[in-house]
Amino acid sequence: MSSDQDHLKETDTEARFEFKKEEKSAFQTEKGLTEETIRVISEDKDEPEWMLERRLRALEQFQQMPMPEGWPGAPDLSEVDIEQIVPYIRPDIETRGGAESWEDLPDEIKDTFDKLGIPEAEKNALSGVGAQYESEIVYQNMQERWEEKGVIFCDMDKAVQEHEDIVREHFMTKCVPPSDNKFAALHGAVWSGGSFVYIPEDTTVEMPVQAYFRMNSEGMGQFEHTLIIAEENSEVHYIEGCSAPKYSAFNLHSGGVEVFVGENAHVQYSTVQNWSKNTYNLNTKRAIVEADGTMEWVSGSMGSKATMLYPATILKGPGATDNHITIAFAGEGQDIDTGAKVYHNAPNTKSTIESKSISKDGGRTNYRGLVHISDGAENSSTSVECDALMFDNKSTSDTMPYMEIQENKVDVAHEATVGKIGDEDVFYLQSRGLDDDDAKQMIVAGFIEPITEELPIEYAVELNRLIELEMEGSLG
Amino acid sequence: MSTQVHANLTESQVEQISEDLGEPDWLLETRKEALAALEDLDMPDVIRTPGRTWTNLDALDYETLVDPLDYAQEKDRIDAEGVDVLSWSEALAEHGDRIEEHFGSVVDPQRDYLTALSTALFSAGTVVYVPEGVDAEDVKIRTTMNSKSLFNYTLVIAEESSSVTILERQTTGDEVEGARYYSGVVEAVAGENAYVQYGTLQNLSEESYNYQVKRGHAGTYATVDWIEGNIGSRLTKSNVETRLLGDSSESQIVGAFFGHNDQHFDIASRVWHEAEHTVADLVTRGVLDDQARSVYEGVQDVGREAWDTSSYQRENTLMLSEESEADASPKLIINNHDTEASHSATVGQVDEEDMFYMTSRGVNPERAKNMLVEGFFVPVLEEVAVDELRDDLDDLIVERLTA
């Protein structure tokens, strides 16, 4: 690759990921968190009474609950100041229910999305885009044949209005109750925006369903809620991508994801996140899988100051399957604490966890995971593999798995390795004409391939570019 | 603060114990400080996962378990040529300065509530002193607890280029009404190029609560190897640890346990790589029958300055019964990239194909299972360099299988 191309690639990637726009906010709550704030949010959204009640109950729980504690090596959250969070911002757009098509979006928002490569995704004939600029879906496009099939893909606020019964039944009740942890409770109180996906029985959505989230306002939090319900024998792949510009002020992202996988249904949830380096990324994501269903989590965690994310799956029905593929990259000043939780609560359930992490320039990655096999979940099997790559002795790479096995007819295996990039591998590539940086980038690209091959091409490209960006100039 | 403070524990009791052993003032002071610290100390760390505490040490009523002034034991010590294997009173008279230098330097006397309790109350134990260049093969210690509680303290000092193999057996003797408490602390200091191998075979009665801390410091080119077999006790909380402080130092920690009835084994192996070119290997195998439960933690900690580290860990548990539980948490903490580290853990049952193979050749199922369980321990037994310990452990395993 010539240096001109290098330069072009660099500026292009820089431009795509590190930019910031003047945003115009139609509505913004006062900083801080009070019952009044919650009432204002709920009223502005014109929510039914039950949702307001749930928000207020969650707020109460949030105020009573302690910060996560007693976790060995947990990221430092002492700087998380809830009072400095602006819980709700709505972009100034004409249509409250979202734009009909790309052209209807304000130029400013289109411009933001252009830099994120969304039009490319659109041109690639992806079948649905709900894009969240700040806290609300402003743009969606869904193919007609989906609607005919009864597939619903809309923003969460709209779902509360239009699909009230099903949302009321599933929203933060059985899957992620606010009592789960302090930040789930916070999320339950101030959630705004996000996606609602409903796939009826016997329906396959061939194209990935996509949503993009960004933050573009100083001192603002993002609390989007994603609810995916896949009925019996259905199939869907949902993708969420995030990329945030750098800020100087403090940010908190605390999303919630709930997935219901019906009997023999198959859901894949993929996300590549790249929060700015001052964001605290504290999410709660969980799936409940019925008999013979399959859940797949694919997550790339980049950026942020600290991330705590452990997508959880409850294998509730016999024969249910869960697969996790995660990658984490931590550079200077970053603490990426991620992993997976799996509960085997029925016989013949199966789970696999594949975790890759890269730490560099003083960054820390940690795999923290739990596999629980309940008494009676016989013939269950689980396999966990964690591999970590380290660049220097300033960085840290930890692995902290937990296994609770209460059933003897099981097959449980956990393996982890940590190492540096092999000098021999670098030498091999250099002897074939690559320079040191390119050799290392190639090795890293190969290392994370299990993740990238699970993603649609433009996501894989984005992930590789993000990692290239992180590695550029500071290698060797 | 959940820790209980002994209401029935007084300074005068501690003075009494100290006087019985004819101790110097500094040791009495260390005991008193540990006693005073009990108020502020927590129980040893245990693993917690959402909604569960893996071992609940707060639930034990230490006041009824511990009788500070009643310590009856039998001690057999077999020494080897050139090595001093002494009781505390003998050792203090002979090696007072050395003991003062090393006592509490490896195991912090106030590490946690149970360790401080042991520091304040220990009345039994052994000091092993290996002078420079001495090669000692077979030091044997047998401790038999005859009282309700016993606090045993062992200090091993191996001077430069010396080597020693110590084999310790822990059992209960006289029947005592109700629950009992055994506490064993072992400190091992391996000087430059020294080699210390310390094996323990714990077969206390199943009414006994057992707390153990074994910790070694390995100097330059030194090796500290630990072997621990756990067969007895109602509950065991054990920590086996090595700090690799000198360049090119090494440690191997080998563990084996076989739990049945409602036994609970909480076992931790930990190693800290703090110098260059250090090597560690942690190997544990355990079998669980009936309602027994095992909790395993393995920690490989590689420090910032630990260049060229090699660190390996493997833990395998075999579950023979529906009611048993196996919990495991192997941890890697790596702060230097010039490291080759790996760990693995497995949980499973006796392999059906192996069973089929054997039964199809006329071996009855019960015997086939026993042979396979015995075979499961072979990789661990192979790591045990002391013949006598290996044979004893194997005997106890067979005894339990055929009970």
Task: Locate B62 and state its tokens.
Answer: 């230490």
What pLDDT was estimated at residue A142? Answer: 56
- Residue range B231-247, pLDDT digits in tens: 999 999 999 999 999 99
Q: What percent of chain B is predicted at pLDDT more than 90?
A: 86
Q: Is the CB of residue A419 less than 8 Å away from at least one CB of chain B? A: yes
Q: Residues near B51 by Cβ (< 8 Å), separated by ≥ 6? A: none
Q: Which residues of B touch A (CB under 8 A)?
A: 47-50, 52, 304-305, 307, 317, 319-349
Residue B89 has pLDDT above 60, yes or no: yes
| Chain Cα centroid distance, residue A457 | 18
Picking from A421, A409, A337, the residue whose alpha carbon sits closest to that of residue A373 is: A409
- A389 → chain B, closest CA residue: B337
Percent of chain A at pLDDT > 70 equals: 75
Residue A135 has pLDDT above 80, yes or no: no
Q: Give A371's contacts in chain B (Cβ within 8 Å).
A: none
Confidence at residue A92, expressed as pLDDT on a 0 to 100 scale? 46
Main-chain phi, psi angles of A19, to 5 degrees: -150, 165
In this complex, do A408 and B317 lie within 8 Å of one another by their Cβ atoms?
no
Q: What size, in residues, is chain B?
A: 403
Interface touch B330/A407, C-beta < 8 Å? no
Angle formed by the axes of helices B25-37 and B88-102, nearest 10°: 70
Q: CA angle, A420 as apex, A416 and A426 as ends, to 5°?
A: 130
- If DSSP codes are grouped into helix, strand and coil, which group holds residue B68? coil
Is the Cβ pair A408, B337 closer than 8 Å?
A: no
Question: Lowest-pLDDT range, A219-228, A408-417, B244-253, B387-396?
Answer: A219-228
What three-state secondary structure class fits A111? helix
**Contact by Cβ (8 Å): A106, A164:** no
CA–CA min distance B176, chain A (Å): 33
Sequence-distant (6+) residues with CB within 8 A of A395 are A330, A359, A360, A361, A362, A363, A364, B335, B337
Q: Over 70: is that where the pLDDT of A21 sits?
A: no
Phi-psi region of B99 (alpha: psi -120 to 50; beta: other; left: phi over 0): alpha
How many Å apart are CA B208 and CA B230, to the nearest integer?
Answer: 13
Reported as a pLDDT band with limits 50, 70 and 90, residue A125 is: very low
Inter-chain touch A420–B338, beta carbons under 8 Å = yes
* A340 close to B (CB below 8 A): no
Q: State how far the Cα of A253 lies from the Cα of A303, in Å rounded to an integer.
A: 12
Give residue A189's pLDDT. 93
Residue A213 is inside which H or E element, if any? strand A209-214
Q: What is the DSSP letter of B391?
A: H
Does the pTM exceed 0.75? Answer: yes
Distance in angstroms (rounded) separating the CA atoms of residues A158 and A275:
26
The span from the first CA to the last CA of chain A, in angstroms, equals: 18
Mean pLDDT for the stretch of residues A353-381: 96
DSSP strand pairing (A321-330 vs A350-359):
parallel
Asked if A420 reaches chain B (Cβ–Cβ under 8 Å), the answer is: yes
C-alpha to C-alpha distance for B27 and B101, rounded to whole angstroms: 11
Q: Tell me which residue of B267, B161, B271 sits closest to B217, measured CA to CA.
A: B271
Contact (Cβ atoms closer than 8 angstroms) between residue A254 and residue A283 = yes
Size of interface A-B (CB pairs under 8 A): 120
A364 neighbors A450 (Cβ within 8 angstroms)? no
Residue pointed to by tokens 């096995």? A405
pLDDT tens digits for range A151-162: 998 888 889 999
Of A413, A417, A420, the CB nearest to B342: A417
Model confidence band, residue A106 (pLDDT cutoffs 50, 70, 90): low
B18 DSSP β-pair partners: none
Measured CA distances, B200 to A273, A473, B125, B208, B235 (Å): 50, 54, 14, 17, 16
* Nearest one of A68, A385, A326, A51 to A190, comparing CA atoms: A51
Give the distance from residue B96's alpha carbon to the nearest chain A alpha carbon, in angstroms.
Answer: 39
Q: How confident is the model at residue A380 (pLDDT cuts 50, 70, 90)?
A: very high
**Can you tell me the mean pLDDT for B161-190?**
94
Q: State the pLDDT at residue A133.
A: 43
**Residues A128, A133, A135, A138, Cα dihedral to 10°:** -50
In which band, very low, low, confident or very high, does the pLDDT at A291 lie, cut at 50, 70 and 90? very high
Contact A446, A386 (CB under 8 A): no
Nearest CA in chain A to B295: A404
